[in-house]
Chain A
Amino acid sequence: MATNRQAAASSPWRAPIVLAILAVLFVLEGTVRNGMFSGSWNTALAILNMGLISAIVALGVNMQWGYAGLFNVGVVGFLAVGGLAPVLVSLPPVEGAWDAGGPRLILSLLVGLGVLAAAKIVYTRWRKGWLVALVLIAGFFLFRHLFDPAVVAIEANNPARHGNIGGLGMPILTSWLVGGLFAAAAAWAIGKVALGLRSDYLAIATLGIGEIIVAVLRNEEWLARGVMNVTSIPRPVAYEIDLQRNPDFAEFAAGWGLPVAEASGIWVKLSYMSLFLVVLLAIMLLAELALKSPWGRMMRAIRDNETAAEAMGKNVTGRHLQVFILGSAVIGIAGAMMVTLDGLLAPTSYNPLRYTFLIWVMVIVGGSGNNWGAVLGAVLIWFLWIKAEVWGPALIGLLTGPMADGPLKAHLLESAPHMRFIAMGAVLLLVLRFAPRGLVPER
Chain B
Amino acid sequence: MDILNGLVVFLNFVFIPAAAYGAQLALGALGVTLIYGILRFSNFAHGDTMAFGTAIVILLTWGLQALGVSIFPLPTALLALPLAIALTALLVLGTDRAVYRFYRKQKAAPIIFVMASVGVMFVMNGLTRLLIGVNEQRFDDGARFLIDVRTFREMTGLAEGLALRSTQALTVVLAFAVMVALFWFLNRTRSGKAMRAYSDNEDLALLSGIDPERVVRLTWIIAAGLMVIAGTLYGLDKSFRPFNYFQILLPIFAAAIVGGLGNPLGAIAGGFLVAFSEVAVTYPWVRVVGYIAPWYDPGQGNLMQLLGTEYKFAVSFVILIVVLLFKPTGLFRGKSV
Judged by DSSP, the binding face of A is helix
A209 within 8 A of B: yes
Complex alpha-carbon distance, A200 and B250, angstroms: 13
Nearest-Cβ distance from residue A357 to partner chain B, whole angstroms = 6
Whether the Cβ atoms of B120 and A2 lie closer than 8 Å is no
Whether the Cβ atoms of A357 and B122 lie closer than 8 Å is yes
Whether the Cβ atoms of B116 and A429 lie closer than 8 Å is yes
Whether the Cβ atoms of B125 and A421 lie closer than 8 Å is yes
Nearest-Cβ distance from residue B251 to partner chain A, whole angstroms = 10
A199 within 8 A of B: yes
Q: Which residue of A lies closest to B40 (CB)?
A: A200
Nearest-Cβ distance from residue B283 to partner chain A, whole angstroms = 16
B310 within 8 A of A: yes
A386 within 8 A of B: no
List chain B residues, Cβ under 8 A from A205. Answer: 320-321, 324
B325 within 8 A of A: yes
Whether the Cβ atoms of A2 and B108 lie closer than 8 Å is yes
List chain B residues, Cβ under 8 A from A297. Answer: none
List chain B residues, Cβ under 8 A from A25. Answer: none
A residues 400-443 touching B (CB-CB < 8 Å): 415, 418-426, 428-429, 432-433
Complex alpha-carbon distance, A193 and B328, angstroms: 10
List chain A residues, Cβ under 8 A from B130. Answer: 415, 418-419, 422
Whether the Cβ atoms of A2 and B109 lie closer than 8 Å is yes
Complex alpha-carbon distance, A204 and B251, angstroms: 10
Complex alpha-carbon distance, A3 and B306, angstroms: 47
A432-B116 in contact given A208-B320, A419-B126 (Cβ < 8 Å): yes
Nearest-Cβ distance from residue B306 to partner chain A, whole angstroms = 8
List chain B residues, Cβ under 8 A from A71. Answer: 111, 114-115
B118 within 8 A of A: yes
Contact with A along B20-61 (1 / 0, CB 8 A): 000000000000000000000110100000000000000000
Complex alpha-carbon distance, A206 and B203, angstroms: 33
A198 within 8 A of B: yes
Nearest-Cβ distance from residue B126 to partner chain A, whole angstroms = 3
Contact for A429 among B119, B246, B316, B317, CB less than 8 A = B119
Complex alpha-carbon distance, A232 and B110, angstroms: 45
Whether the Cβ atoms of B310 and A197 lie closer than 8 Å is no
Complex alpha-carbon distance, A350 and B122, angstroms: 17
A135 within 8 A of B: no
List chain B residues, Cβ under 8 A from A6. Answer: none
Whether the Cβ atoms of A211 and B310 lie closer than 8 Å is no
A425-B121 in contact given A199-B109, A200-B42, A211-B250 (Cβ < 8 Å): yes
A360 within 8 A of B: yes
Complex alpha-carbon distance, A30 and B131, angstroms: 35
A364 within 8 A of B: yes
Contact for A203 among B102, B106, B111, CB less than 8 A = B111
Complex alpha-carbon distance, A207 and B310, angstroms: 17
Complex alpha-carbon distance, A418 and B134, angstroms: 9
Whether the Cβ atoms of B328 and A424 lie closer than 8 Å is no
A208-B313 in contact given A199-B111, A433-B99 (Cβ < 8 Å): yes
Contact with A along B203-241 (1 / 0, CB 8 A): 000000000000000000000000000000000000000
Contact for B325 among A193, A211, A353, CB less than 8 A = A193
Judged by DSSP, the binding face of B is helix
A194 within 8 A of B: yes
B1 within 8 A of A: no
Complex alpha-carbon distance, A205 and B98, angstroms: 28
Contact for A428 among B119, B127, B316, CB less than 8 A = B119
Nearest-Cβ distance from residue B115 to partner chain A, whole angstroms = 6
Whether the Cβ atoms of B324 and A73 lie closer than 8 Å is no
Most buried by A among B114, B122, B123, B126: B122
A215 within 8 A of B: yes
B155 within 8 A of A: no
Nearest-Cβ distance from residue B63 to partner chain A, whole angstroms = 14
A39 within 8 A of B: no
* B: number of interface residues (CB 8 Å): 52
A424-B122 in contact given A71-B115, A429-B116 (Cβ < 8 Å): yes
Complex alpha-carbon distance, A203 and B250, angstroms: 11
A357-B324 in contact given A203-B42, A204-B253 (Cβ < 8 Å): no
A212-B110 in contact given A425-B119, A425-B122 (Cβ < 8 Å): no
Nearest-Cβ distance from residue A248 to partner chain B, whole angstroms = 49
Whether the Cβ atoms of A212 and B125 lie closer than 8 Å is no
Contact with B along A316-360 (1 / 0, CB 8 A): 000000000000000000000000000000000000110001001
Complex alpha-carbon distance, A209 and B324, angstroms: 14
List chain A residues, Cβ under 8 A from B129. Answer: 415, 418, 421
A234 within 8 A of B: no
Nearest-Cβ distance from residue B185 to partner chain A, whole angstroms = 26
Whether the Cβ atoms of A199 and B110 lie closer than 8 Å is yes
List chain A residues, Cβ under 8 A from B126. Answer: 418-425
A218 within 8 A of B: yes
Contact for A215 among B106, B314, B324, CB less than 8 A = B314
Nearest-Cβ distance from residue B134 to partner chain A, whole angstroms = 8
B65 within 8 A of A: no
A215-B250 in contact given A3-B109, A198-B337 (Cβ < 8 Å): no
Most buried by A among B130, B326, B337: B130
B residues 132-168 touching A (CB-CB < 8 Å): 133-134
List chain A residues, Cβ under 8 A from B314. Answer: 212, 215
Which positions in A face B, CB cutoff 8 Å?
1-3, 69, 71, 73, 129, 140, 193-194, 197-201, 203-205, 207-209, 211-212, 215, 218-219, 352-353, 357, 360-361, 364, 415, 418-426, 428-429, 432-433
Add 15 more A-B contacts to A211-B247, A422-B122 (CB < 8 A).
Answer: A197-B337, A199-B114, A204-B257, A205-B321, A207-B250, A207-B253, A208-B320, A215-B311, A218-B310, A415-B130, A418-B134, A420-B126, A425-B120, A429-B120, A432-B115
Could you show 22 A-B contacts with beta carbons less than 8 Å apart?
A: A1-B109, A2-B107, A3-B106, A197-B328, A200-B110, A208-B254, A208-B316, A208-B321, A209-B317, A211-B317, A212-B311, A212-B314, A215-B313, A353-B122, A353-B125, A422-B122, A422-B126, A422-B127, A423-B126, A425-B123, A432-B116, A433-B102
Q: Nearest 6 pairs between A and B by C-beta?
A: A425-B122, A421-B126, A422-B126, A425-B123, A418-B129, A428-B119
